Structure 1
């Protein structure tokens, strides 16, 4: 199978501006009750419906099939913007982009038009049950050519709220015996059980609970394709890492914006400061200056790597292992700095907002809880190792679902 890319060229300033405005408006809507919804800890059905209504769900789907026809750089920007207000919902959207992106990256080109038309017509949100550190699900081949899916996966982001679930499994028996594959199942397929057991410190509305598959009937047509080391099809993994970098960046930006708002609302000043307002305190201004500078440096790198991602994707079947590896370690650099800066920003904003900002009713902890939770997804020390190994020795990491 020769991989074809529907994503060609680069995002224009007009495209970026248009969709950033859409994401900004959606973020404003989410911001109104983000803290209350976080505390309620309910799956974000209503929130995702809003993203469907404004077009963000189908942003990446090719225009020829009724989608938004936008580029990956634009999608990563949308994730960043939403993360400033509600990183949980932004995470579900990010995983949706990656999961549905498999149509263009890993599905036989002959099947792509039908899948695109169906996902656009249904405005499907794609959840997943892929977690590679859990034992594989087992897809047992049956005598009639169909299959049976069994097993449990944790950390199945978006599965409980999606219209479809993308699951990874290893085939037992039949012509695909021993091979890892992706299957696509409708949300309500008999035998799928959503546990609703996501109980993390942050990202509480990311719908990342466990899913059990008990004798789930799977048709041969439900198999999207095999997991392989073909470079183009594996761009999905650098893509999700780039989505993470933008998620963390957006959280840092949101925390900084909230801290500025709280600081401007503070009365009086510290008695030794010699100024009338906390917003004029030189130590307060120094912290804001330091944090903003770091955030804007991360943003510059995120923007640059977003364009690089589209440039590699546009090569389609001509993408080499070297292309893919170099892109992955560039994204690893973003993962390193976005992780460290976002944790620093969401922690240190309390220094400039004062003791009153620690009240539960203020909710400034939301940004820290979210980024502290998601940055544990995979160890950032290994991303530092990737960057160092390439810079010093020219070594690229082997292809995996984390690198």
Structure 2
């Protein structure tokens, strides 16, 4: 693989339509028992297997090596469609895309194809343990490899992943201070997945903690080191763009379910002149407002998804300006998608009435999911990022969040 980027051009309508259709079929299967599964909060093994069988997990992988040969915009669409029904599994899939894409962004040209072949042939689901706000893991040289120790919280997919992507800084030796990308197989010695994921929402995202106890890391587990290459720095905007599409899908799902509930209600409020609840002008007005807001976010998401395709296709030609421009566009989407989804998932109850708060309905799952994940990183800092760029032309320093 000689080209720095395996992704060329942007996704066609036909490509997007294909992967959207695949995702919708998966979502339909997930919808059958989503409420029961969400409440049980069990490790999503069957759901992960469904993603693998569908072909969605290899969507971004190179076609010549057996992958789907798709673009990022198709991957974001797949996440969005599944989030309409099951936001936890949508998160699992989205994080898999970001984690597995580190092969293209980080691995050397000599090793890239081998990593992809193993991942594609094994239909690997990639979990992670990379939470940057946790204390840094200890990665200590040991022979021709390392020893890894410490704990990482919020390790999405770690309990179901065939492999786990781990980030750690080398603490001594000739590589001291270097940021390492490690890939450890499930069941690796010294790696203990904690059963501690018990949160308000995103219950099926398998985002538990992972404890590393002198876990051996050989050269075969080292994907690569962080560099100052701007192409590699596109990973963070990809993750944040994933969030924007995830939030949009949650908002769309809340509207989907609310519409069904409203259309099923037989009577309007007694002071209304309407015969049925759905005929009440106040109800229609509220839906008009919410649907229009979500449509605006969708238009922005589609545009930014395509813009990301175009940037990542530039490969080694990506420079600081291009990376900064797409990061700002993604931040804009993050702001409006987060706030719109939180508002929509809350206000649909006004459009569905008190009966929609019944436990058996499960309409609250959309709000719990967006409320939980929207706290991933403070939205105020995304607003600051956008505002500082607009007013002063100042951009935030690179990090795993900006």
Q: TM-score, normalised by structure 2?
A: 0.98
**Aligned residue number for residue 325 of structure 2:** 326
- Cα separation, 2, equivalents of 1:3 and 1:218: 29
Partner Cα separation in structure 1 for residue 75 and residue 277 of structure 2: 38
Aligned to 2:7: 7
The 2-side partners of 1:85 and 1:45 are apart by 17
Say whether residues 1:304 and 2:342 are aligned partners: no
Distance 2:29 2:367 in 1: 21
- What is the CA deviation profile of residues 71-128 of structure 1, one whole-angstrom value per residue up to 9, with x for unaligned ones? 0000000000000000000001000000000011111111100000000000001100
1:59–1:67: 8 Å Cα contact kept in structure 2? yes
Q: Partners of 1:3 and 1:348 in 2: how far apart?
A: 48
Structure 1 residue 3: Cα displacement: 7.5
**What is the rounded CA distance, in whole Å, between the counterparts of 2:177 and 2:274 in structure 1?**
71
1:346 is aligned to 2:345? yes
Of residues 173-182 and 309-318 in structure 1, the stretch that sits farther from structure 2 once superposed is: 173-182
2:54 is equivalent to residue 49 of structure 1: no
- State the match for 2:70 in structure 1: 70
1:215 offset after TM fit, Å? 1.0
For structure 2, which runs of at least 5 residues remain unmatched after alignment?
none
Q: CA deviation at 1:224?
A: 1.1
Q: Does 1:135 align with 2:138?
A: no
Q: TM-score, normalised by structure 1?
A: 0.98
CA distance in 2, matches of 1:240, 1:212: 24
The gaps in structure 1 that reach 5 residues or longer are none
- Partner residue of 1:100? 100
Distance in structure 2 (CA, Å) of the matches to 1:194 and 1:51: 21
Q: Compute the displacement of 1:272 (Å).
A: 1.2
Residues 3 and 106, structure 1, Cα contact 8 Å, conserved in 2: no
Aligned counterpart, 1:265: 264
Task: Return structure 1 stretches of 4+ with deviation > 6 angstroms.
Answer: none
Superposition RMSD on alpha carbons, in Å? 1.0
CA distance in structure 1 between the aligned counterparts of 2:24 and 2:186, rounded to whole angstroms: 29
The answer for the alignment partner of 1:368 in structure 2 is 367
Structure 1 residue 339: deviation in Å? Answer: 0.5
**3-state SS of 1:28 partner:** helix
Q: Aligned partners of 1:388 and 1:402: how far apart in 2?
A: 16
- The 2-side partners of 1:314 and 1:178 are apart by 30
- DSSP 3-state at the match of 1:309: helix
1:289-334: CA deviations, max 9, x gaps? 0000000000000000000001000110110011101100100000
* Equivalences, count: 401
